[in-house]
């Protein structure tokens, strides 16, 4: 009987032991090299697998790619898109686009957790979308879509249990995605209440992290989407061989005009016909953003997580604040004074803590062909971004001096009306 | 609170392995502990229907009490009397909860019913079968505890295979000898590993990686004749592959687990893609379901039609019954136009198939039969089945009405 049992279960036990051994191994295997073409593909893929993973990002960032944090604007590949310009004109940097539709500050904070080595004392670009700062902050399903157990496990193995960690844990606990692993959930509860992890939890997290890291190395490069790289190559062909601002500005105008000629908003025809036209016909969109506000939101504290992290890693960051298409804004009734107030509040949060590299484009919403649709940068908008991004990344920059203030995690700051900013500032002094 | 889809992730299988180990040792030494089996059944039922899904758990408990009352009540009644109408009323009552669960989404805008839970169909099939065999007199010694074990046998509770009361009882009351049991364990382990290949590699590739892309392409290529396009064809094959590997994989897990528990739950699939005709396909695809329909709907209807001389010709009787049988199966899948069309399609296919086979029999000399026609028959059957799955998938509903 023993012989027969061994024949039945021997292979099974052997297989289980081997799989577990390979996955739980704390060392990297030799065949984890990421090729240059894979890096190029991943950098523009906007694939959620890449965002949730670690290995490809890490390798690419070691290789001259610079993290560009943001969201849906990255998918607007026209000839002036940062990835296209960097490739065409052989810049010393290549953008690694991090984020896609629905990714906001909280997602980006966790994305940063397993590329810390590649952020420390380096540079980064960060696009702040005013649209993130709605009353309820990041959508739970969108956060869940980009949620990565690997990043959470990695964060939990190096957290320091102060304001940043407590806030991040509390915020994560509000998300259904945090419940995807019971042990991680229990660990988060301890962090949120300021307690240390138990020995068992630390052991579990370390093992889990190793397993997820190996999985990421084995599988995250499979089935990488390639259509965006194709788009980048096609768009690059439309650009003149030698860089000249005036030529590009003129080209941007020409391309923009041709692409937005069948509607009164200066919205790209393609976007306009994808459902927008139909909804406009019903008249539902007239004044529909009248009561929308970006001035009070939990997103301000989530954003503080990113700032805090950058400061800890001494990352020099260029922030970009894009405008809203002015014609569209007028039509939907979105308040211009509210947008201005948002701008003031975010400026205060940035500058009072020493983040002074800000490309504020919020007043450019009526420049022709600046936006490709309602809220996303296009032709001339991208060009304006490039005017600042290129020197920032290619020239020596002054070392930033950050002074982080935990008050930006408070409910008070999240809900502060920008009209009370002056008073708030005085109280703080 | 832990909560799992049955056979959904590695943790579930790890727990399964640990829970089955004592049971396996017992069976090797000729012992079957009812108590232990009941305990692990309850444990896995709580894992499946507890935690965030506790409402389903409550629905399951109430449902089981209800079906026990009906089947037990009928078994007691049947010992003394045998009235037709009373039997019909009891069957209708037994099917009532399932009917409510299936009709609710159609009338309540897709809302699912409060009394529903994972596996309600398969439990209903088992209960109705028990009742019908009680009426036939083939099932004489109905026992509540055995019936509960039969209904709540955790490896097959969520999606079958649909076992039969008497077959289950015979296995459950006995212990296989060591030689036979070792063979069952060997088979069980092999089934579970083939299941891994089917469900977690092949079905994952077709269903999770490929299918959403094809669906998006199909939706973006609308505008042609009936909104059809090449991606729709791709989707059709991809969906069929996913459906097969997902369900066959699940069934292998269920059968494999049963074997290790010393119960020879019947197999659900037997190389369906090599069927030369549609009738043979239904003998190989979701076998326990199609045999259930054959024994308890098709055969019963045919007898009833013949007894009451409703149709003159036996072929008409068979044809009408085919259509009714498959329509019922369509309705069982859900009250939507595409499930019902799917049922009707298969009913008509069975009628056409029978007519052709009769024609072929009559004209043996003039209809060629060789290796080529054999291959052609398999090719035609597989493609027709894939087409029926395209209807079943609901993609056409999305293409045309969304």
| pLDDT one-digit tens code per residue, B143-168 | 999 999 999 999 999 998 999 999 99
Whether B163 and B188 share a structural domain: no
pLDDT given at position A162: 82
Cβ–Cβ < 8 Å for A26, A78: no
Q: Is A76 left (phi over 0), alpha (psi -120 to 50) or beta?
A: beta
Distance CA A122, CA A116 (A): 10
Whether B154 and B185 share a structural domain: no
pLDDT given at position A205: 94
Chain B positions in Cβ-Cβ contact with residue A223 (cut-off 8 Å): 209
Q: CB A12 to CB B209 under 8 A?
A: no
The average pLDDT across B111-124 equals: 90
Cβ–Cβ < 8 Å for B87, B134: no
Chain A positions in Cβ-Cβ contact with residue B189 (cut-off 8 Å): 8-9, 12
- ipTM score over 0.90, yes or no: no
Q: CB B189 to CB A1 under 8 A?
A: no
Please write the tens of the pLDDT for every residue from A19-50. 888 888 877 665 567 889 999 999 999 999 99
Q: CB B189 to CB A182 under 8 A?
A: no
Chain B positions in Cβ-Cβ contact with residue A9 (cut-off 8 Å): 189
The C-alpha angle with vertex A164 and arms to A161 and A170, in degrees rounded to 5, equals 85
The C-alpha angle with vertex B198 and arms to B192 and B203, in degrees rounded to 5, equals 140
Contact residues, chain B to chain A, C-beta under 8 Å: 2, 28, 178, 182, 185-186, 189, 193, 209
Whether B235 and B344 share a structural domain: no
Q: CB A8 to CB B189 under 8 A?
A: yes
Cβ–Cβ < 8 Å for A125, A67: yes
For the record, the structure tokens of A425 come out as 């500032």
Cβ–Cβ < 8 Å for A196, A161: yes
Tell whether B213 is covered by a domain. yes
pLDDT at residue B2 tops 80: no
The domain tally of chain B equals: 3
pLDDT given at position A21: 87
Distance CA B26, CA B35 (A): 12
Distance CA A320, CA B354 (A): 71
Residue A126, strand partner residues: A69, A319
Please write the tens of the pLDDT for every residue from A282-323. 888 889 999 999 999 999 999 999 999 999 999 999 999 999
State the smallest CA–CA distance between residue B102 and chain A in angstroms. 29
Q: What is the CB neighbour count within 10 angstroms for residue B106?
A: 12
Tell whether B2 is covered by a domain. no
State the smallest CA–CA distance between residue A8 and chain B in angstroms. 6
3-state DSSP of chain B: CCCCCCCCCHHHHHHHHHHHHHHHHHHHCCCCCHHHHHHHHHHHHHHHHCHHHHHHHHHHHHHHHHHHHHHHHHHHHHCCCCCHHHHHHHHHHHHHHHHHHHHHHHHCCCCCCCCCCCCHHHHHHHHHHHHHHHHHCCCCCCCHHHHHHHHCCHHHCCCCCCCCHHHHHHHHHCCCCHHHHHHHHHHHHHHHHHHHHHHHHHHHHHHHHHHHHHHHHHHHCCCCHHHCCHHHHHHHHHHHHHHHHHHHHHHHHHHHHHHHCCCCCCCCCCCHHHCCCHHHHHHHCCHHHHHHHHHHHHHHHHHHHHHCCCCCCHHHHHHHHHHHHHHHHHHHHCCCHHHHHHHHHHHHHHHHHHHHHHHHHHCCCCCCCCHHHHHHHHHHHHHHHHHHHHHHHCHHHHHHHC
Of the candidates A356, A352, A347, A290, which has an alpha carbon nearest to the alpha carbon of residue A317? A356
pLDDT given at position B112: 84
Chain B positions in Cβ-Cβ contact with residue A4 (cut-off 8 Å): 182, 186
Cβ–Cβ < 8 Å for B147, B130: yes
pLDDT given at position A414: 96
Q: Which of B232, B265, B298 is the last residue of a domain?
A: B265
pLDDT given at position B3: 76
Residue B125's alpha-carbon distances to A327, B140, B253, B332, B350, in angstroms, are 62, 19, 20, 11, 23
Query: In this complex, how many residue pairs, one in chain A and one in chain B, have their CB atoms less than 8 Å apart?
Result: 16
Half-sphere exposure of B380 (CA within 13 A, CB side): 12
pLDDT given at position B15: 93
**Which of B333, B346, B363, B369 does the annotation list as catalytic?**
B333
The average pLDDT across A98-114 equals: 95
Distance CA A253, CA A384 (A): 13
Of A228-242, B47-61, B252-266, which gets the smallest average pLDDT? B47-61
List the single best residue of A3, A5, A20, A270 to mutate versus B (max B Cβ within 10 A): A5
Instruction: Provide the residue count of chain A.
Output: 429
A222/B contact by beta carbon, under 8 A: no
A27/B contact by beta carbon, under 8 A: no
Half-sphere exposure of A61 (CA within 13 A, CB side): 25
Whether B193 and B334 share a structural domain: no
pLDDT given at position A429: 64
Tell the burial category of A231 from Cβ atoms under 10 Å away from its Cβ (0-12, 13-18, 19+).
middle
Q: CB B182 to CB A182 under 8 A?
A: no
Q: CB A4 to CB B182 under 8 A?
A: yes
Whether B26 and B157 share a structural domain: yes
- The three-class DSSP label of residue A239 is coil
Q: What is the CB neighbour count within 10 angstroms for residue B25?
A: 10
Chain A positions in Cβ-Cβ contact with residue B193 (cut-off 8 Å): 12
A8/B contact by beta carbon, under 8 A: yes
Tell whether B1 is covered by a domain. no
Q: What is the mean pLDDT of chain A?
A: 93
Whether B321 and B258 share a structural domain: no
Chain A residue with the nearest C-alpha to that of B14: A16
Distance CA A108, CA A119 (A): 13
Q: CB A223 to CB B28 under 8 A?
A: no
pLDDT at residue B204 tops 90: yes
**Angle at which helices A182-192 and A199-219 cross, to 10°:** 130
Chain centroid to Cα B317, Å, comes to 26
Tell whether B4 is covered by a domain. no
pLDDT at residue B346 tops 80: yes
Q: Is A353 left (phi over 0), alpha (psi -120 to 50) or beta?
A: alpha
pLDDT at residue B373 tops 70: yes
For the record, the structure tokens of A61 come out as 């960032």
Please write the tens of the pLDDT for every residue from A319-340. 999 999 999 999 999 999 999 9
State the smallest CA–CA distance between residue B204 and chain A in angstroms. 13
Residue A359, strand partner residues: A320
Chain A positions in Cβ-Cβ contact with residue B186 (cut-off 8 Å): 4, 7-8
Cβ–Cβ < 8 Å for A421, A345: yes
Higher-pLDDT residue of B9 and B63 is B63
Sign of the C-alpha dihedral computed for residues B20, B26, B30 and B34 taken in this order: negative
> For B178, which of A1, A182, A223 is closest by C-beta distance?
A1
The average pLDDT across B360-375 equals: 92
pLDDT-derived band at B339 (thresholds 50, 70, 90) equals very high
pLDDT at residue A201 tops 80: yes
* Helix H or strand E segment including A320: strand A316-321
The residue segments making up the domain with residue B340 are: 270-402
pLDDT-derived band at B290 (thresholds 50, 70, 90) equals very high
Tell the burial category of A170 from Cβ atoms under 10 Å away from its Cβ (0-12, 13-18, 19+).
middle
pLDDT given at position A29: 65
Please write the tens of the pLDDT for every residue from B219-230. 888 888 888 999
Chain A residue with the nearest C-alpha to that of B28: A1
Q: CB A223 to CB B209 under 8 A?
A: yes
Cβ–Cβ < 8 Å for B301, B318: no
Cβ–Cβ < 8 Å for A392, A123: yes
A223/B contact by beta carbon, under 8 A: yes
pLDDT given at position A32: 67
A20/B contact by beta carbon, under 8 A: no
A282/B contact by beta carbon, under 8 A: no
Cβ–Cβ < 8 Å for A123, A313: no
Tell whether B189 is covered by a domain. yes
- The three-class DSSP label of residue A317 is strand
Chain B residue with the nearest C-alpha to that of A223: B209
Whether B300 and B361 share a structural domain: yes
What strands lie across the sheet with A65-69, from one edge to the other?
Answer: A94-98, A65-69, A123-127, A316-321, A358-360
Chain centroid to Cα B361, Å, comes to 32
pLDDT at residue B107 tops 90: no
Whether B163 and B36 share a structural domain: yes
Q: CB B2 to CB A182 under 8 A?
A: yes
Whether B275 and B368 share a structural domain: yes
State the smallest CA–CA distance between residue B391 and chain A in angstroms. 27
pLDDT given at position B1: 58
Q: What is the mean pLDDT of chain B?
A: 93
> For B185, which of A8, A182, A223 is closest by C-beta distance?
A8
Q: CB A8 to CB B2 under 8 A?
A: no
pLDDT-derived band at B5 (thresholds 50, 70, 90) equals confident
pLDDT at residue B96 tops 90: yes
Q: CB B189 to CB A12 under 8 A?
A: yes
State the smallest CA–CA distance between residue A73 and chain B in angstroms. 22
The average pLDDT across B12-37 equals: 94
Whether B125 and B229 share a structural domain: no
Is B333 part of the annotated catalytic residue set? Answer: yes
Q: CB A8 to CB B178 under 8 A?
A: no
Q: What is the CB neighbour count within 10 angstroms for residue A5?
A: 14
Q: Is A99 left (phi over 0), alpha (psi -120 to 50) or beta?
A: left
State the smallest CA–CA distance between residue B187 and chain A in angstroms. 9
Q: CB B185 to CB A12 under 8 A?
A: no
Distance CA B229, CA A388 (A): 46
Cβ–Cβ < 8 Å for A63, A95: no
Chain B positions in Cβ-Cβ contact with residue A181 (cut-off 8 Å): none
Q: Which of B233, B265, B297 is the last residue of a domain?
A: B265
pLDDT given at position B243: 97
Distance CA A112, CA A61 (A): 12
The average pLDDT across A406-427 equals: 92
Whether B54 and B158 share a structural domain: yes
Whether B26 and B134 share a structural domain: yes
The C-alpha angle with vertex B187 and arms to B185 and B190, in degrees rounded to 5, equals 110
């Amino acid at each position: 009987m023993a012989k027969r049992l061994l024949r039945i279960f021997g292979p099974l036990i052997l297989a289980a032991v081997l799989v577990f051994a390979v996955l739980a191994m704390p060392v990297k295997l030799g065949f984890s090299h990421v090729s240059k073409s894979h890096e190029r593909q991943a950098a523009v893929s906007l694939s959620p697998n890449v965002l949730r993973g670690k290995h490809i990002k890490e390798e690419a960032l070691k290789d001259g790619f610079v993290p560009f944090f943001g969201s849906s604007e990255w998918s607007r590949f026209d000839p002036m898109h940062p990835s296209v310009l960097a490739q065409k004109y052989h810049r010393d940097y290549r953008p690694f686009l991090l984020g896609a539709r629905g990714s906001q500050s909280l997602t980006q904070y966790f994305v940063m957790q397993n590329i810390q080595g590649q952020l420390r004392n380096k540079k980064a670009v960060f696009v702040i979308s005013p649209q993130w700062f709605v009353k309820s902050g990041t959508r739970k399903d969108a956060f869940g879509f980009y949620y990565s157990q690997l990043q959470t496990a990695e964060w939990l193995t190096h957290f320091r249990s102060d304001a940043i960690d407590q806030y991040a844990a509390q915020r994560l606990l509000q998300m259904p995605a945090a419940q995807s692993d019971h042990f991680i959930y229990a660990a988060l509860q301890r962090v949120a209440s300021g307690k240390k992890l138990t020995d068992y939890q630390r052991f579990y997290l370390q093992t889990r992290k190793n397993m997820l890291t190996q999985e990421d190395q084995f599988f995250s490069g499979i089935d990488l989407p390639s259509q965006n790289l194709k788009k980048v190559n096609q768009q690059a062909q439309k650009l003149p061989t030698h860089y000249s601002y005036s030529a590009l500005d003129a080209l941007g105008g020409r391309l923009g005009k041709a692409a937005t000629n069948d509607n009164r908003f200066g919205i790209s025809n393609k976007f306009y016909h994808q459902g927008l036209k139909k909804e406009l016909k019903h008249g539902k969109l007239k004044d529909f953003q009248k009561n929308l506000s970006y001035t009070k939101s939990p997103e301000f504290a989530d954003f503080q997580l990113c700032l805090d992290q950058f400061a800890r890693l001494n990352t020099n960051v260029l922030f970009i604040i894009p405008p809203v298409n002015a014609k569209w804004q007028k039509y939907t009734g979105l308040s211009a004074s509210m947008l201005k107030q948002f701008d003031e509040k975010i400026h205060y949060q940035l500058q009072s803590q020493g983040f002074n590299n800000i490309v504020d484009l919020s007043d450019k919403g009526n420049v022709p062909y600046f936006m490709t649709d309602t809220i996303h940068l296009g032709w001339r908008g991208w060009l304006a971004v490039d005017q600042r991004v290129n020197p920032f990344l290619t020239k020596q920059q002054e070392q930033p001096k950050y002074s982080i203030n935990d008050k930006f995690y408070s409910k008070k700051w999240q809900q502060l009306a920008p009209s009370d900013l002056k008073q708030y500032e005085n109280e703080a002094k | 609170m832990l909560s799992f889809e049955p056979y959904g992730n590695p943790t579930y299988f790890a727990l399964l392995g640990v829970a089955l180990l004592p049971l396996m040792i017992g069976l090797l030494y000729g012992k079957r502990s009812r108590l232990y089996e009941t305990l692990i059944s309850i444990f896995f039922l709580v894992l499946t229907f507890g935690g965030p899904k506790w409402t389903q758990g409550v629905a399951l408990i109430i449902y089981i009490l209800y079906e026990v009352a009906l089947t037990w009540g009928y078994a007691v009644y049947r010992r003394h009397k045998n009235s037709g109408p009373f039997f019909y009323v009891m069957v209708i009552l037994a099917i009532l909860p399932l009917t409510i669960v299936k009709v609710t989404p159609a009338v309540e805008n897709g809302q699912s019913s409060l009394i529903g839970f994972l596996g309600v169909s398969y439990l209903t099939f088992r209960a109705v079968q028990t009742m019908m065999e009680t009426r036939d007199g083939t099932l004489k010694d109905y026992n509540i505890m055995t019936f509960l074990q039969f209904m709540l046998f955790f490896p097959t509770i969520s999606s079958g295979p649909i076992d039969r009361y008497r077959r289950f009882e015979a296995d459950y009351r006995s212990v296989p000898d060591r030689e036979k049991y070792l063979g069952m364990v060997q088979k069980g382990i092999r089934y579970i590993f083939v299941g891994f290949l089917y469900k977690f590699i092949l079905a994952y590739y077709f269903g999770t990686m490929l299918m959403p892309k094809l669906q998006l392409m199909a939706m973006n290529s609308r505008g042609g004749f009936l909104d059809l396009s090449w991606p729709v064809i791709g989707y059709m094959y991809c969906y069929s592959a996913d459906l097969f590997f997902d369900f066959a994989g699940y069934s292998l897990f269920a059968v494999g687990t049963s074997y290790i528990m010393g119960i020879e739950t019947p197999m659900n699939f037997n190389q369906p893609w090599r069927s030369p005709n549609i009738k043979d396909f239904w003998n190989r695809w979701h076998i326990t379901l199609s045999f259930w329909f054959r024994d308890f709907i098709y055969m019963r209807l045919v007898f009833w039609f013949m007894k009451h001389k409703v149709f003159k010709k036996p072929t008409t009787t068979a044809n009408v019954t085919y259509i009714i049988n498959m329509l019922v199966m369509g309705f069982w899948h859900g009250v939507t136009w595409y499930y019902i069309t799917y049922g009707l399609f298969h009913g008509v296919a069975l009628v056409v198939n029978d007519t052709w086979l009769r024609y072929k029999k009559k004209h043996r000399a003039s209809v060629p039969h060789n290796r080529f026609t054999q291959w052609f028959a398999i090719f035609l059957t597989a493609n027709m089945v894939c087409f029926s799955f395209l209807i079943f998938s609901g993609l056409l509903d999305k293409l045309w009405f969304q």
